[in-house]
Structure 1
Amino acid sequence: MDAQEQTLRRRVRAERGWSSLWALMLCWAVFRAPWALWSGPRPPQNIPQNHAELQVTVRDENGVAVADAAVTLTGPHPEKKFFARSDQAGRCGFKDLAPGAYRLRVEREGYYVLTKDGIEVSGPVALDVTFHHQQEYVEKVNVVASPPAVDPAKTTASEKLTSREIIDLPFEVPRDIRYALPMLPGVLQDSTGQLHLDGSSTRQISDQLDGFDMTDPVTGLFEMRVSVDALRSVEVEASRYPVEDGKGAGGILSLRSGMGDDHWRFTATNLPPSLSETKGLHINTWTPRVSASGPIREGKAWFLDAMEGEYAIDLVNELPAGQDRNSITRFGNLGKAQANLSPSNILTGSYLVNSFHSPHIGLTRFHPLPTTVSKSDFADLVSFKDQQYFSNGTLAEAGIGLGRFYDSFWPMGSAPYMLRPEGSSGNYFERGSRRARRLEGIANVIFPEVGRHQFKVGMNLARIVYDQSDQRQGYSILRQDGTLDRQVNFVNFPAFQRNNLELAGYAQDRFTPTPRLLVEAGLRLDDDEILRRALLSPRVAASYVLSADGETKLVAGIGRYYDRTNLQFVTAGLGGLRTDFFYRPMGF
């Protein structure tokens, strides 16, 4: 048996081993889920008369559970404090308390600090608290923001911008969130506006809006724009992110939008346009932003709507009047609504739309108006998500989203296109249209803690449909003296469609063997109909708090990450054939 065959057999055995482990974890999840969802609350245990317990549930102003909130309980003796962190259902508990009056303090970055005094605990007590996001209030209230701190429950290497930082920090294009992210360590922006994390390609980054994929399904680029007024936070995860996040070996870019509450809020920015007198009075640039939020029904339903637009004129002074200008028109809007069907059932829907049009792309002194192309782009994302909290602490969520991406361009006519040293003439040689859509379904279940373990399972299903049509005609490249240097011809292929079906599932265990040590281990399975191969991604990360004050921690992790299948690469050879003929100065 040669070395190559031995290596192949070892690889097959390893893949079978991972497949068996994955099957066991999924079987456990299937067995565990029904029990968790329908078992109901456990009967209360007998508590000694001289002891008490407190169950705290932390929710924001819209009734959504707040996870990883630091909860501090101070008893009758101030020198004795109890600490806990809220789970995914926003719950945490304190047991074996001495009866008496307690003081509660809740903190998390991006929220105002919450304090509550005089909590009488003499037996089993359940307490619900409302935790407010940092934002402007109409009332005059003394509030304190939660300062950034070392989070012992965090193993991911990530950086975050809050809504206040997004609005306050100056960056080059304040209406485009992509230009704010280079202020974070490890984030770079190229000349086209695309982002790179720690040197990765922008196609290796998974871009998400409220948990739904907003990356272009064909190119893998971050093209959708969201008004900065609609964002509550932007988080960049560059390493050690858990198995619930996939399809991006370069990192995760997560945008979280806000939501209205029981207060009406309106903002308006850059409403008056800027004017220019160059070649006559005209609008130079106009970049208005308007947002509104408030209650649909107080305490039950709310909405948020944020609009941003752009209009600009680009003048080329060297060209004659009437053929010297190009305009850019861009529009974007995010509308979002939330309804609390019950205190434990929350339904959220959103619609993001982007449009762009420019009638003369590429207009310069060397490329006059007839050689330009007209370009139109359109993209939208509609999504719905339902969250259900169960009495035993289980959180289940399911969602569906549909994203559509259209772009097309066409020349000014069909005259032969020619390139000379002094510029171009005729009409551009190519026209094309591309349409892609992604139908995505997500489901996640987070189980209550069992001992020192908390399990989470989920799946993701995406159907991608891509249509492309291109038509090209030949063009000529001429020398300074007007002789032919090169003739380029094309063989056009018919329009085509390429589809893909992506399926992913994961299981994760969050284990805290000691109060200072946290271990996250999980396994992810990805598959699609183009590769037709199951990709297993085991990952593990751990965090250990070194100091007693919790200000120093050590984090390490290892895992396997895969990129999404790029349809642009797969379909690159279906657009047609090109043939170049080169000519000598005196002939062929």
Structure 2
Amino acid sequence: MRCRIVYFVLLLAGVAPAAPPTAVLSGKVVDENGVAVAGARIQVRRVPEGAAAADSEPGGKFELTLEPGEVELRVEKTGFFLFQEPHLSLHAGDNALTITLNHLQDVADSVNVTYAPPVIDPKQTTETKELTNVEILEVPFPAAQDIRRALPLLPGVVLDAAGREHVNGGTSGQTSYTLNGFNLADPYTGRLEARLNIDAVQTVEVKSSRFAADTGRGSAGSVELKTDMGDDHWRFAATNFFPGLDSQQGLHINKWTPRVNVSGPLRKGRVWLDNAFESFYHVDTISGVPLPNQTSGLALSNLSRVQINLTASNIVTASLLVNYGDDRLHGLSFLDPVETTVNQRSNLFHGSLHDLQFFRGGSLLEAGFAETHGFFRSSPQGTLPFVITPYGDRGNYFADQTRNTRRAQGFLNFSFRKYRAFGSHQLKVGVDAEHVDLDQITQRHEYDLVGPARNALRTIQFRGSPALSKGDTNAAAYLIDRWSPAESLLVEAGLRSDQDTALGRGLLSPRLSAAYAPRWLRGTKAAAGYGIFYDVVTLDVLSRPYDQGTYSQFFSPSGAVSSVLATSFVMPPNRLEFPRHQAFSFSLERELLFGIYGKAGYVLRRGTRQLGFTRHALDDQLAYLLQNSRRDRYEAFELTARRTFAHHFEWSASYTRSSARSNAVVDYAVDSPLLGPQAAGPYSWDTPNRVLVWGWAPILTGRLPHLFRRMIGETYLAGLGEYHTGFPFNTVDEFGLLAGPPNSRRFPAYYDLNLHLERRFHVLQYLWAWRVGVNNVTNSLNPNEVNNNISSPQFLAFGRGQARAVAVRLRFLGKK
């Protein structure tokens, strides 16, 4: 009773009991070069009270209010090693801390650290799929020297029969490709044509839905490549520096893929260098082709990057990527003998300058500029007449093309410090602009289509100027607000405005998404979003109306001219509109039993006003008019399970059910003899069912005799298994006319199983990794070419894809 009276007297006197002391844990998360790491999950655990968590802001800042005492600190982010501090003492008041996260890498000084398990980020609304450097190097995917072949390790990404990548059911031009934040897509095709040393790639991040308004135009998603930077230790790594030999048709080098990485400090703590070089020389023997049946090629790539920390808050990075390619007898197949092939030569120069300025309080200013120059030359083997027969092609290819492209890009964005208004807000504004140019000369000569008896059916000639030039400028501005009204809920709203000189006025594209991770359902997150997206238009599409037209003569069985047809590609009299997509997606993530991370997702994209060519016939004239007439639809449901175990091993399994269709799937082109009405059907990369499993695990030696344990040592098994429905394809008749509905037939189902063994060993204190394995263990046909001429006795004859092959790799990982 006396205590209550004293407490009441104190209140009357305006004196309140002292509040319990609190500890404020604040600081910044950075990488090994002092660059802020956004989106890192900071977890503080104390037994038995529970845990508290926060996420780092764009400037790397974070803050948590706790009770003083000893806690366990855990910081994780996909693509980085796990940071753990089991005994961190917090005193009352401010506790400042700078946390350094190291990027995942497979070098000698990383073998005893722990990889971060799959992370459920409650503050991430974007549907993001990521490959780390370790996953790219460990999973035995085909053509493992090409980073583009790693993309299908992610659900929702497929390579079609021609080897072109497709994200989220979209065309290649509906995906944006960036290298360290700068546009790397080919301005002409819209595809990822550049080569990179895969050892230098830190992460490949695919954003397939619910991506924010700062992501460049591309309704299907974005592929973001991020590469290494040196640190305060000089490092040297080399891979496959010994060539591979083949005894077919005499002993010769058939594969040589040396890769060399050098990185280190030019000035410790301030200036770092990273240089990644690769060379790919190959001689391929094509089965089913009479001698000579070998193609050859050389590809060189070098990426140089320098980072300068002018101050702790001002970081400048300069990069230069150089590519060179030379392919001989490109296109050799069972339908295309040596004389029909072309020699291709290309080069690429991509330079960029990037500046980060961090401000007190967590604000961030980012600016960048990049210049890209590309060259491509395709030349035939001679000037013999080119003939398309029901048995394949004969003679020398009819087109000799030289193409030059240029792109200049600049961007500026600012992320504001967090402020509170009915929760916390994180604002970001930015602008992005680029200009592209094309100069192209294509010398074409006439070619013929003949029947089974080599009787003349059709002759195609070209008219118009062989030279064309085309340019385009586009710009965008955007605003993003990341609003967290409660700890378990994040709502991201964005608005983007795009303008294009070829498409006219700018349009607004609103985007809204949310992520909910309730505490009462620990380890679970639900996310959903809706947005409007506009596509970039490639120079390939924009330039066709300025290219040549064709003039065809059709012959009767007697050899007389029965009809003529002139075709041309035409721009519409009225201005084109932006291709538009609406997308809705939903996903559910949860930590399951035994450390398994499970995810289910659904996405629906509907495209309207898509650019396509429609036929307009008048007597002996046929015009392909570029219009906003195409409508696309993509729908997919995905299930994924992943697990990291034994510190640095991992497996992943996924199933995707999808449909990619359009009301206009016939792709008319100047160099294609295809004629026929535009029609609906599946796209040529439609894969209704796809199963993908990959991973690597140690070979258990616990119960083996000591001698065998020593022999096996640090050996592990890596595997990749994939099945998907065969891709669709067209059928044509002997005149080149479309036979039946477009893409009405399919290749056989695709099966692939790759198994590799890798052994790590030490020689003179240096760590090495030796790998040997078999690709396509079951020797499945997996065809990528077909005789689609219904008049041919060889109709539906398939050309085999990659046969069973032995793969060998030797890596030097550095000093242990």
Query: Which TM-score tier does this pair reach, normalised by the shorter chain?
Result: 0.7 to 0.9
Match of 2:456 among 461, 475, 484: 484
What are the residue-to-residue correspondences of 1:111-510 with 2, within 5 Å?
111-116=80-85, 117-119=87-89, 121-136=91-106, 138-139=108-109, 143-315=113-285, 325-363=294-332, 369-419=338-388, 426-451=395-420, 452-479=424-451, 483-510=455-482
Q: Would the alpha carbon gap of residues 561 and 587 (structure 1) be closer, same or farther in structure 2, given more than 3 Å must change? A: same
Instruction: Give the CA deviation at 1:587.
Output: 3.0
Distance 1:314 1:110 in 2: 35
Distance 1:478 1:486 in 2: 7
Instruction: Give the CA deviation at 1:537.
Output: 0.6
Between the two proteins, the alignment pairs up a number of residues equal to 539
Distance 1:140 1:247 in 2: 38
Q: Would the alpha carbon gap of residues 90 and 549 (structure 1) be closer, same or farther in structure 2, given more than 3 Å must change? A: farther
Instruction: Give the CA deviation at 1:346.
Output: 0.8
Instruction: Report the equivalent of 1:538.
Output: 510
Structure 2, unpaired ranges of 5+: 1-17, 561-816
Structure 1, unpaired ranges of 5+: 1-46
Instruction: Give the CA deviation at 1:141.
Output: 8.3
- Partner AA of 1:565 in structure 2: V
Residues 272 and 286 in structure 1, CA contact (< 8 A), matched pair in contact too: yes
Distance 1:466 1:143 in 2: 49
Q: Does 1:83 align with 2:53?
A: yes
Q: Would the alpha carbon gap of residues 131 and 368 (structure 1) be closer, same or farther in structure 2, given more than 3 Å must change? A: closer
Distance 2:535 2:313 in 1: 36
Offset from partner CA, 1:66-109 (integer Å, 9 cap, x none)? 1122223457x8636432221111111234x5555655332223
Distance 1:468 1:149 in 2: 48
Q: Give the 3-state SS of the residue equivalent to 2:230 in structure 1.
A: coil
Q: Give the 3-state SS of the residue equivalent to 2:540 in structure 1.
A: helix
Distance 1:552 1:142 in 2: 30
Distance 1:195 1:286 in 2: 25
Distance 2:133 2:294 in 1: 37
Q: Does 1:554 align with 2:523?
A: no
Q: TM-score, normalised by structure 1?
A: 0.85
Match of 1:70 among 21, 41, 51: 41
Q: Would the alpha carbon gap of residues 113 and 483 (structure 1) be closer, same or farther in structure 2, given more than 3 Å must change? A: closer
> Matched residues, percent identical?
39
Residues 269 and 290 in structure 1, CA contact (< 8 A), matched pair in contact too: yes
Instruction: Report the equivalent of 2:24.
Output: 53
Residues 234 and 264 in structure 2, CA contact (< 8 A), matched pair in contact too: yes
Q: Would the alpha carbon gap of residues 485 and 557 (structure 1) be closer, same or farther in structure 2, given more than 3 Å must change? A: closer
Instruction: Give the CA deviation at 1:237.
Output: 1.2
Residues 473 and 501 in structure 2, CA contact (< 8 A), matched pair in contact too: yes
Q: Would the alpha carbon gap of residues 485 and 99 (structure 1) be closer, same or farther in structure 2, given more than 3 Å must change? A: closer
Q: Would the alpha carbon gap of residues 365 and 202 (structure 1) be closer, same or farther in structure 2, given more than 3 Å must change? A: closer
Distance 1:256 1:152 in 2: 23
Report 1 or 2 for greater relative contact order, CA contacts < 8 Å, sequence distance ≥ 6.
1
Higher strand share: 2
Q: Would the alpha carbon gap of residues 264 and 136 (structure 1) be closer, same or farther in structure 2, given more than 3 Å must change? A: farther
Offset from partner CA, 1:42-80 (integer Å, 9 cap, x none)? xxxxx99955533211111110111122223457x8636
Distance 2:334 2:98 in 1: 67
Offset from partner CA, 1:191-223 (integer Å, 9 cap, x none)? 222222332222211111111111111211121
Q: Would the alpha carbon gap of residues 577 and 448 (structure 1) be closer, same or farther in structure 2, given more than 3 Å must change? A: same
Residues 234 and 262 in structure 2, CA contact (< 8 A), matched pair in contact too: yes
Instruction: Give the CA deviation at 1:363.
Output: 4.2
Distance 2:489 2:497 in 1: 27
Q: Give the 3-state SS of the residue equivalent to 1:151 in structure 2.
A: coil
Distance 2:426 2:533 in 1: 23
Distance 1:140 1:412 in 2: 50
Q: TM-score, normalised by structure 2?
A: 0.62
Q: Would the alpha carbon gap of residues 315 and 52 (structure 1) be closer, same or farther in structure 2, given more than 3 Å must change? A: closer
Instruction: Give the CA deviation at 1:543.
Output: 1.0
Measured on the aligned residues, the alpha-carbon RMSD in Å equals 2.7
Residues 404 and 437 in structure 1, CA contact (< 8 A), matched pair in contact too: yes
Greater shift after overlay, 180-189 or 560-569? 180-189
Residues 52 and 99 in structure 1, CA contact (< 8 A), matched pair in contact too: yes
